[in-house]
Amino acid sequence: MTDDRLTGSECWPIRSRLFIGRITDRADARSFYRAGLMLAASLLCSCSGPQSALDPAGPEAEDVAILFFTMVVGGALIWCSVVGILFYASRKKHAYDAGQASRIILWCGVVFPTIVLGALLSYAVWLMPNIRPGFGEANARLRTIDVAGEQFWWRVRYQNAEGSAAFETANEVRVPVGERVLFKLTSPDVIHSFWIPVLGGKMDVIPGRENHLTLMAEKPGTYRGVCAEFCGPSHAFMAFTVVAMEPGAFEDWTKARASFDGARDAEGLALFLKHGCSACHAISGTEARGTIGPDLSGFGERGSVGVGALVNTQEDIARFIRNPSEIKPGARMPHFSMLPETDIQRIAAYLKGLQ
């Protein structure tokens, strides 16, 4: 007979490997937990910001966020129940008969999910009127802003109390805090989609049709709106700025904007007119009255050039003037690279000074 038991010196390598294996497993587990925490942190960081529908600044967006989190909780409840039952069944030592299996499938696979999903659907249907208020007589008396989506920019017209256009701007929407605003949405070319995630849901902008959307900002701030419908090669460069202002500051801005005078820089304006820029663009208080391109009155106070393509600096304005198609593919503005560099820089300085 031989003794198969191992001596202490023989057991040591095996015990060492087992101990190291446990340490390695723990290290792997810690790495897994760290990765999970980093993933969760990155997901939570996505819940805030100037374009996050989960960081609402208006009642409609708040209802959308509540609906989203309610759906997440409902889905998580169903998932956790199914996984819990799976672990419970896998650890049971005795076998289930056909009757037990049928009851589990019926209650956990049919009845419970149907009740939860039915409750979520009922809640969503009940919430829908708040998410998208209808257009009625009360809305007809709201402050109105006409927005036209064009390839690839936004034409914005503010109406006065009489319903006529008070002034026009582009790629920037300013609204008073605490006041519901009516947006009348149109398009002269292709289908766009007007969306300000922090204020509410999106609305399609369709050629030949005027759609209505009412939104209200509940807190001041600068937010980001986007086109949510693919509309051409520069669709990604159709982001616009939304500035929610206190009512007093908004009234001051509208008065200043309605009486804006872009003729203060005579030399820059002369070059702007000389090189034909006024054929497409308008500037209040000057002879530039073009309607093809964006209105450039107050251009210097906008945050970007080319609807989010570049930062609004004199260098980037000059770069856009030289060759806009290089920055925004499909842009209808012709290039002006043939102009003397001094003229390009002077026009860029003039546009930057329009504030």
Round to whole Å and give the CA distance between 178 and 100: 58
- Please state whether beta strands 172-176 and 240-245 pair in parallel, antiparallel, or not at all (unpaired): parallel
Residue 342 included in any domain: yes
| Under 8 Å between Cβ of 228 and 204 | no
Domain end point (choices 255, 274, 304): 255
For the residues 248-256, what does the mean pLDDT come to?
A: 91
Statement to judge: residues 147 and 233 lie in one domain:
yes
Domain end point (choices 88, 107, 131): 131
Q: Which residues pair with 170 in a beta bridge?
A: 155
Statement to judge: residues 218 and 121 lie in one domain:
no
At 348, the pLDDT band (50, 70, 90 cuts) reads very high
Six token digits for residue 320: 């856009």
Helix/strand/coil percent split, the chain, to 5: 45, 20, 35
Residue 248 included in any domain: yes
Report the side by side order of strands in the sheet with 153-159. 165-170, 153-159, 143-150, 180-186, 211-216
Statement to judge: residues 236 and 272 lie in one domain:
no
Handedness of CA 197, 199, 201, 203 (dihedral sign): negative
H-run or E-run covering 143: strand 143-150
Domain end point (choices 197, 220, 255): 255
| pLDDT the model gives residue 24 | 46
What would the 3-class secondary structure string for 27-96 be?
HHHHHHHHHHHHHHHHHHHCCCCCCCCCCCCCHHHHHHHHHHHHHHHHHHHHHHHHHHHHHHHHHCCCCC
| pLDDT the model gives residue 160 | 80
pLDDT in tens, 275-290: 999 999 999 989 999 9
State the DSSP code for 232: S
pLDDT beyond 70 at 44: no
Percentage above 90 pLDDT, the chain: 43
Residue 156 included in any domain: yes
| pLDDT the model gives residue 130 | 67
pLDDT in tens, 65-114: 888 888 888 888 878 887 887 777 777 665 666 677 777 778 877 888 88
CATH number, residue 174: 2.60.40.420
Domains held by the chain: number: 3
DSSP assignments along 249-312, one per residue? HHHHHHHHHHT----S-HHHHHHHHHTTGGGT-B-TTSS-B--SS---TTGGGSSEETTTTEES
In the predicted model, what is the mean pLDDT of the chain? 82
Statement to judge: residues 109 and 163 lie in one domain:
no
At 188, the pLDDT band (50, 70, 90 cuts) reads very high
Burial of residue 2 (CB within 10 Å: 0-12, 13-18, 19+) is exposed
Q: Which residues pair with 176 in a beta bridge?
A: 245
At 138, the pLDDT band (50, 70, 90 cuts) reads low
Q: Between helices 314-322 and 341-352, what is the axis angle to 10°? A: 130
User: By mean pLDDT, which of 12-21, 225-234, 271-280 is the weakest?
Assistant: 12-21
What pTM, to 2 d.p., does this model score?
0.75
Residue 318 included in any domain: yes
pLDDT beyond 80 at 128: no
Please give the residue that has the higher pLDDT: either 15 or 258.
Answer: 258
Statement to judge: residues 207 and 122 lie in one domain:
no
| pLDDT the model gives residue 13 | 46
Residue 89 has, within 13 A of its CA and on its CB side, a CA count of 14
Statement to judge: residues 237 and 337 lie in one domain:
no
Residue 36 included in any domain: no
pLDDT beyond 70 at 48: no
Structural domain harbouring 292: 266-352
| pLDDT the model gives residue 69 | 86
Statement to judge: residues 149 and 246 lie in one domain:
yes
At 9, the pLDDT band (50, 70, 90 cuts) reads very low
User: By mean pLDDT, which of 63-77, 211-225, 302-316 is the weakest?
Assistant: 63-77
Statement to judge: residues 209 and 243 lie in one domain:
yes
Round to whole Å and give the CA distance between 201 and 328: 27
pLDDT beyond 70 at 341: yes
| pLDDT the model gives residue 81 | 80
Statement to judge: residues 155 and 247 lie in one domain:
yes
pLDDT in tens, 152-184: 999 999 988 766 668 899 999 999 999 999 999
Percentage above 70 pLDDT, the chain: 80
Residue 178 included in any domain: yes
| pLDDT the model gives residue 14 | 45
Please give the residue that has the higher pLDDT: either 188 or 80.
Answer: 188
pLDDT beyond 60 at 32: no
Rg value, the chain, Cα: 30
Helix (H, G, I), strand (E, B) or coil at 338: coil
